[in-house]
Structure 1
């Protein structure tokens, strides 16, 4: 399904999209087209794209691309897929009960879960917030263990 969504392979493409997406949530999925969970997430994202198009834009970032490694390192993308949100070039964070508020790790259970999260981020951003609370119940939030390097 990823062929329906724009895939970014260059740092400049990511920079431009972050800078030029105004008054909409920018959803960047970091993953690969060969990972099964990334493909599951891509399916949810592509099915949701029309529903969120008034207040969000979605793009895929290929973590295998050498040119985007600066973003992979900056957002500490150790688990794929990971989804990062922006609004007017500001990184939007979400408290979903994990220690990491910078990104969503894993796939969304369904299209409506993704839409609810993006709507919450949009509403928070419109009020000037840089962090919002996850609107999903804990059982629908993927669980993962944070691995700290050099600890």
Structure 2
């Protein structure tokens, strides 16, 4: 499914897409093409792409690329896939009732869940918010035990 999306493997490519995506939600999926959960998520992203094309851009980030590690460290990506949202170069956070508001960890259950989340991010961003509430019911939000290093 990756053929539908740009795959980024250099820091400069990620910097550019964040800077150049204007008035649309930028969805960055950090992961690897060989991971089963990443493939599930990519399938949902691909099925949603046409419906979201007016207000969202999706790109895949190769987490194994040496040049991307600055972002992996900055966003503390330890579990994949991790999906991060931006709007007009601002990192958009989401309160999904989990410990981490900076990213979505795991796949979405279905296409409509992803569409609902992106719409919520877009609507919040248009109102000037930098954090939005997750529109999904809690049973549809993946639960992960986050382990913090050096605590």
Query: Fold conserved (TM > 0.5)?
Result: yes
Partner of 2:37: 37
Partner of 1:6: 6
Q: How many Å apart are 1:14 and its aligned residue?
A: 0.3
Q: How many Å apart are 1:3 and its aligned residue?
A: 2.0
Instruction: Report the 3-state secondary structure (helix = DSSP H, G, I; strand = E; otherwise coil) of the residue aligned with 2:40.
Output: helix
Partner of 2:84: 84
Partner of 2:127: 127
Partner of 1:27: 27
Which whole-Å CA distance do the structure 1 matches of 2:103 and 2:48 have between them?
A: 19
Asked if 1:98 is matched to 2:114, the reply is no
Q: How many Å apart are 1:33 and its aligned residue?
A: 0.5
Instruction: Report the 3-state secondary structure (helix = DSSP H, G, I; strand = E; otherwise coil) of the residue aligned with 1:128.
Output: coil
Cα shift readout 1:61-112 (whole Å, capped 9, x = no counterpart): 0000001100000000000000000000000000000111000000000000
Gaps in structure 2 of 5+ consecutive residues: none
Query: Aligned-pair RMSD on alpha carbons?
Result: 0.5
Partner of 1:138: 138
Q: How many Å apart are 1:2 and its aligned residue?
A: 1.5
Instruction: Report the 3-state secondary structure (helix = DSSP H, G, I; strand = E; otherwise coil) of the residue aligned with 1:54.
Output: coil
Gaps in structure 1 of 5+ consecutive residues: none
Give the TM-score, by structure 2 length: 0.99
Which whole-Å CA distance do the structure 2 matches of 1:68 and 1:46 have between them?
A: 23
Which whole-Å CA distance do the structure 2 matches of 1:10 and 1:56 have between them?
A: 21
Which whole-Å CA distance do the structure 1 matches of 2:47 and 2:13 have between them?
A: 23
Which whole-Å CA distance do the structure 2 matches of 1:78 and 1:100 have between them?
A: 12
